[in-house]
């Protein structure tokens, strides 16, 4: 790792800024771009005034230049630079020279033909404005068009509240950004260039303004009264709109080309959030803007205002192409200082809109922050570079011209303490979170327990989790702190509550939030039999009613004793570790590894073999050419997770016991490309009153999933898809006689003696009556057949079980 630059390289002529990150689903509808005579052609009222420039005199954020070797592991590199960069709030990362991912947005199908929505920003009002309810002071010399006044609805589904444009102002309306027209990238580039050419028009017509000149003019607009400066910004563009700028797909081991490294790299923002070691991998939902990247298409002066990331997560922004972005960062340790300074200097705005900083509509001068003792640092991001922001680090910025960037969140293990702090702050502010911190925390603890319990050869993944355990480990401390917090709060509620074990699926199908403060209720919840008929619950900080008697209760996912045992397990206590090993797989979402009930399965690398449409394999295949479909399919069933017993008629049949949470892995023809053999994951999930739901998923493509109430039907659905794809590719009814039938139980592994023995061991009391009755009957018949076949006349007078057969 090369030493970082403490000062900005003077050769950098481009700068850039990341737009505001807001977790809401916008469906802005604009109109298509019109010819230059239309109102959507830029109308430039103000002009460049270099004599009154206001460029802030602040320090520069560090710049890092990773080597090719360092660049291979994204999270390891972030961990490496964190001690050097976190105190700045933001930093810039310049990839090695061999990192040049192609941008898929530049293809004509997107560049010329796909529209994206924009939002209108009045740059001159981002700081220098009065409350909406007050009229603009007389004597303010400025020519202005109409700007949107907005209503901020309550936040739903973990999203930050968004501003909804309304045609008329009311007493409760707030300042915000109105919807703009829709553009293609090609047309927006022309719009942006026309604006910049008009605004920075020089009398001598010599050259474009430098980044420094643009920055000085930008802050003059923000801080001083000026004519209207109206720009457009394509911000928070979700995946379905333009898609990611990075290529997505599946890396095929048998194919080697330059694209593979970009598809599978952790620096591809589609992969970052769910990398091994990122705690966001324990959040089952795909949260748009958190785990799924958002795009930002900017023009000169388009702005992302001061904000912190949801749940105080890290963020990584990549600049795909275009002119620079200028960033400003304040370290997380000074976040409250920034908030106090803004409230001090903008009291009327905060009086009218107390959650102003959550709305991302207010910019504020770095010069004023510096004068208030708040450190602010600048980063100029050029095309092909990353900007990393740290937990609770406020950041803002603007664009120097037409450009496109992409951003996503990530949560290394060191984020845990920051995330818990965010939960407490959000609770105080009665603000919804974007994700369940407790679910993520338990997911990390479960993974750590698995690592501590693993045996045999050491491996990098196990070591990476193991080092966060022990008495001083980050995960251990986080679980212990959460335990003490819950213990104290439950004690404070008093003795008027009964403790009830929470159903494992309490929040699996819907969000559970405290009705008082919106805290997530994954770990615990308070309720009342009289008052909870409407499915309303509170957190352990809030008593939701004043009912008396024993009607009030506290749901606990894990008791205080169980959590204490978990802490001891993470510290390495063998008995507690064994106890938790049998529990952790129940909440684990990973499919490629698992240990349960004393069974430890080694992780195996996914390997794909190539086959032609007739089912003949190449020389590298382990499967012979004349293999039948069942020989091929059941070549090797790998148990991943044994699961646990659920006693009930639907959870077994005559031939197998079906443990809840069971998972296995097997090779079969790929439904997308039958010329290849790929891995499938078979699993059993709880469908409530319907009993077990059997699910088969193509491991390399989670969208290819088949579910049914029986294992046989699941695999028949897979087989049907394979046959349809073979016939589609051959354009004729090709002979697929070898694909006529399939054994679903065998594909799940329930014909495997090892798995049969393991599942039977889960039911020592023979609670699954149908299975055991059939097994006993079968064993009895086999014994009788064996006896009859070996009988002879010489044995006719023998005694069997003490009975004379004569």
Binding residues for Fe cation: 307, 309, 395
3-state per-residue secondary structure call for 266-332: CCCHHHHCCCCCCHHHHCCCCCECCCECEEEEECCCCEEEEECCHHHCEEEEEEEEECCEEEEEECH
Kindly state the tokens that stand for 138: 């007389």
Q: Which residues pair with 60 in a beta bridge?
A: 378
Task: Find residue 232's DSSP bridge partners.
Answer: 120
How far apart are alpha carbons 277 and 413 in whole angstroms? Answer: 7
**Which residue in 215, 199, 189, 177 sits closest to 297, CA to CA?**
189
Tokens of 363: 């910019």
Phi first, then psi, for residue 800 (nearest 5°) are: -115, 125
Residue 19's nearest CA partner among 311, 367, 293, 225 is: 293
Backbone angles phi, psi at 311, to 5 degrees: 55, 20
Secondary structure of residue 369 in the 3-state scheme: helix
- CA-based nearest residue to 570, from 699, 479, 661, 665: 479
Of 326, 330, 400, nearest to 368 (Cα)?
330
Quick one: DSSP state of residue 540?
T
Contact by Cβ (8 Å): 323, 359 = no
Task: List, in sequence order, every residue forming a beta bridge with 617; answer none if it has no partner.
Answer: 611
Report d(CA 510, CA 488) in Å as an integer: 27
Helix residue spans in 514-600 (DSSP H):
560-571, 574-584
Q: Tell me if residue 45 falls in helix, strand or coil.
A: coil
How far is residue 341's CA from residue 365's CA, in Å, rounded to a whole number? 10
SS3 category, 437: helix
| Cα end-to-end span (Å), the chain | 91
Binding residues for Zn(2+): 514, 517, 528, 531, 539, 542, 545, 547
Q: Which residues contact 626 (CB under 8 A, 6 or more apart)?
A: none
**Distance between CA atoms of 697 and 341, rounded to whole angstroms?**
53
Q: Under a CB-based contact definition with an 8 Å cutoff, are residues 525 and 537 in contact?
A: yes
Please compute Rg for the chain using Cα positions: 31
CB burial class (10 A; 0-12, 13-18, 19+) of residue 217?
buried
Spatial contact of 188 and 402, defined as CB atoms under 8 Å apart: yes
> Residue positions in the annotated binding site?
307, 309, 395, 514, 517, 528, 531, 539, 542, 545, 547
Evaluate whether 233 touches 296 at the Cβ level (below 8 Å): yes
Q: How many Å apart are CA 15 and CA 38, to the nearest integer?
A: 31
Question: Rounded distance, CA 675 to CA 453, Å?
Answer: 39
Quick check: helix, strand or coil at residue 202?
Answer: coil
How far apart, in Å, are the Cα atoms of 589 and each of 369, 508, 584?
44, 13, 10
Helix (H, G, I), strand (E, B) or coil at 49: coil
């Amino acid at each position: 790792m090369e030493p970082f630059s403490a000062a900005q390289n003077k050769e950098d002529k481009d700068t850039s800024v990341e737009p505001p990150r807001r977790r809401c689903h916008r469906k802005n509808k604009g109109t298509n771009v019109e010819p230059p005579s239309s109102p959507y052609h830029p109308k430039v009222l103000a002009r460049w005034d270099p004599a009154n420039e206001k460029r802030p005199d602040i320090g520069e954020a560090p710049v890092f230049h990773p080597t090719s070797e360092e660049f291979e592991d994204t999270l390891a590199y972030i961990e490496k630079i964190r001690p050097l960069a976190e105190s700045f709030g933001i930093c810039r990362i310049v990839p090695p020279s061999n990192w040049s991912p192609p941008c898929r947005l530049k293809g004509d199908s997107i560049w010329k033909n796909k529209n994206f929505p924009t939002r209108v920003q009045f740059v001159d009002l981002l700081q220098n404005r009065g409350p909406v309810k007050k009229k603009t002071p007389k004597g303010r010399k400025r020519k202005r068009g109409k700007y949107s006044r907005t209503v901020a609805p309550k936040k739903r589904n973990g999203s930050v509240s968004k501003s909804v444009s309304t045609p008329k102002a009311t007493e409760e309306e707030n300042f915000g950004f109105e919807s703009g027209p829709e553009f293609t990238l090609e047309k927006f580039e022309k719009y942006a260039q026309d604006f910049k050419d008009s605004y920075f028009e020089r009398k001598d017509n010599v050259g474009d303004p430098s980044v420094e000149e643009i920055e000085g003019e930008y802050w003059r607009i923000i801080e001083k009264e000026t004519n209207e400066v109206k720009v457009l910004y394509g911000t928070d563009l979700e995946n379905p709109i333009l898609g990611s700028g990075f290529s997505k797909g599946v890396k095929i081991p048998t194919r080697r080309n330059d694209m593979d490294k970009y598809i599978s790299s952790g620096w591809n923002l589609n992969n970052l959030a769910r990398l091994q070691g990122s705690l966001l991998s324990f959040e089952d939902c795909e949260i748009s803007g958190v785990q799924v990247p958002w795009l930002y298409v900017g023009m000169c002066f388009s702005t992302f205002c001061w904000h912190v990331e949801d749940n105080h997560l890290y963020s990584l922004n990549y600049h795909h192409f275009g002119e620079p972005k200028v960033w400003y960062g304040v370290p997380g340790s000074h976040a409250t200082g920034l908030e106090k300074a803004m409230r001090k200097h903008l009291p009327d705005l905060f009086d009218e809109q107390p959650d102003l900083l959550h709305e991302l509509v207010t910019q504020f001068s770095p010069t004023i922050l510096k004068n208030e003792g708040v450190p602010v640092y600048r980063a100029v991001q050029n095309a092909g570079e990353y900007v990393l922001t740290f937990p609770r680090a406020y950041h803002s910025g603007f664009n120097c011209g037409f450009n496109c960037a992409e951003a996503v969140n990530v949560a290394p293990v060191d984020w845990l303490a920051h995330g818990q702090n965010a939960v407490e702050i959000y609770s105080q502010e009665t603000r919804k979170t974007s994700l369940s911190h407790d679910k993520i925390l338990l997911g990390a603890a479960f993974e750590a327990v698995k690592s501590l319990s693993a045996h045999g050869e050491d491996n990098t993944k196990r070591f990476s989790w193991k080092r966060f355990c022990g008495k001083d480990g980050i995960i251990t401390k986080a679980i212990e702190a959460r335990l003490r917090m819950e213990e104290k709060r439950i004690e404070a509620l008093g003795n008027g509550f009964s403790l009830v074990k929470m159903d494992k699926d309490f929040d699996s199908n819907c969000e559970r939030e405290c009705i008082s403060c919106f805290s997530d209720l994954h770990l615990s919840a308070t309720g009342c039999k009289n008052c909870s008929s409407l499915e309303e619950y509170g957190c352990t900080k809030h008593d939701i009613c004043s009912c008396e008697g024993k009607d009030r209760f506290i749901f606990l996912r894990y008791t205080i004793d169980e959590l204490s045992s978990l802490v001891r397990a993470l510290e390495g206590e063998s008995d507690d570790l064994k106890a938790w090993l049998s529990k952790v797989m129940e909440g684990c979402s990973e499919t490629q590894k698992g240990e349960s009930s004393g069974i430890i399965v080694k992780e195996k690398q996914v390997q794909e073999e190539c086959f032609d449409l007739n089912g003949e394999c190449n020389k590298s295949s382990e499967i012979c050419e004349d293999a039948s479909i069942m020989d091929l399919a059941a070549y090797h069933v790998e148990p991943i997770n044994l699961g646990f017993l659920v006693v009930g008629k639907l959870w077994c049949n005559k031939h197998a016991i079906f443990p809840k949470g069971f998972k296995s892995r097997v090779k079969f023809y790929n439904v997308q490309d039958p010329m290849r053999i790929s891995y499938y994951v078979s699993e059993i999930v709880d469908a409530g009153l319907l009993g077990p739901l059997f699910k088969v998923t193509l491991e390399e493509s989670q969208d290819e999933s088949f579910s049914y109430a029986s294992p046989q039907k699941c695999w028949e659905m897979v087989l049907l898809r394979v046959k349809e794809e073979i016939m589609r590719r051959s354009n004729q009814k090709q002979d697929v006689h070898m694909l006529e039938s399939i054994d679903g139980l065998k594909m799940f592994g329930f014909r495997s003696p090892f798995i049969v023995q393991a599942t039977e061991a889960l039911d020592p009391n023979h609670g699954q009556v149908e299975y055991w009755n059939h097994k006993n009957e079968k064993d009895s018949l086999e014994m009788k057949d064996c006896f009859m076949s070996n009988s002879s006349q010489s044995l006719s007078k023998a005694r069997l079980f003490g009975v004379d057969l004569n």
